[in-house]
Amino acid sequence: MLKINIYRYNPEEDKFPYMKKYEIEKPQKDIMVLDLLHLLKESDSSLSFRRSCREGVCGSDGMNINGKNGLACITALSEVLKGDRIDIRPLPGLPVIRDLVVDMTQFYNQYEKIKPFLQNDTSPPEQERLQSPADRDKLDGLYECILCACCSTSCPSFWWNPDKFVGPAALLQAYRFLADTRDLEKDSRLDDLADPFSVYRCHGIMNCVAACPKGLNPNKAIGEIKTMLLKGKNSKNIIASDGVTA
């Protein structure tokens, strides 16, 4: 038998969240954690979680599975089971709306803060803007982010300062546009990040890298941004007004 513990909280009924125990026959073949949740929902329809593509590209079903953040739809039971036990909790650090569903507002706010769109005010050519394959390659490992929040919600610095530290996911996107040869706002993008919190709360803990279900490396991108900031004209701003050093 599989012993499953799931974080439950319904704001209308529960004063506090609790772990609900489920037991089901261990499936014959290896299934994904999302399949397991669907099985449980068939008998307990009140269990709530987000899901959409069920193939690891939409980023809906990030959750904490036996202590590690990941996407339920591409995490096989065989990878995560501890004996016959599995504990499933919402992504850590964000307010819980219900059960495994978290309020991602802070996460999305940080994303919007880095101006996640190409900025180039020159009038475009009739066709596409040219970009060499080598320059395009610089975007690999960056543009593939699916905004699942597995990285940012595994980051102690983000837990501590979700309002001021941009966090690994949005910083990865900040670097995606800094690295794009078609973007012309590098200086202003760096200006926006040149403070003690936005980037420099990253202390290289690397939880983001361990958590990313797409195999991306936000820590590396953050390192690149730090280098650009130090070499750039705004390096002075980094030792900030409140005396907090980077």
Q: Residues in the site for another protein, rule: CB under 8 A?
A: 10-13, 41-42, 45-46, 48-60, 74, 76, 97-99, 101, 103-104, 108, 112, 115-118, 120, 124, 126-133, 136, 139, 143-144, 146-147, 177, 180, 182-183
Nearest distance from residue 246's CB to another protein, in Å? 28
Nearest distance from residue 11's CB to another protein, in Å? 5
- Nearer to another protein by Cβ, of 75 and 157: the residue is 75
C-beta atoms surrounding 105 within 10 Å: 11
Nearest distance from residue 194's CB to another protein, in Å? 22
Which residues are 62's β-sheet partners? 71
- Nearer to another protein by Cβ, of 98 and 201: the residue is 98
- CA 70 from chain centre, in angstroms, equals 10
Per the CB < 8 A criterion, the answer to whether 56 and 36 are in contact is: no
Tokens of 219: 């820590």
Residue 24 main-chain phi, psi, to 5 deg: -135, 160
Nearest distance from residue 113's CB to another protein, in Å? 11
Residues 6+ apart with CB under 8 A from 236: none
Q: How far is CA 241 from CA 165, 166, 234, in A?
A: 16, 19, 14
- The rounded distance, in Å, linking the Cα atoms of 96 and 63 is 12
Q: What is the 3-state secondary structure (H, E, C) of 202-219?
A: CCCCCHHHHHCCCCCCHH
- Nearer to another protein by Cβ, of 76 and 230: the residue is 76
Nearest distance from residue 202's CB to another protein, in Å? 23
Nearest distance from residue 179's CB to another protein, in Å? 10
Residues 6+ apart with CB under 8 A from 111: 147, 169, 170, 173
- Nearer to another protein by Cβ, of 48 and 237: the residue is 48
Nearest distance from residue 191's CB to another protein, in Å? 18
End-to-end CA distance of the chain, in Å?
A: 50
- Nearer to another protein by Cβ, of 84 and 135: the residue is 135
The two beta strands, 2-8 and 85-89, are parallel
- Nearer to another protein by Cβ, of 112 and 239: the residue is 112
Place of tokens 């991602």: 104
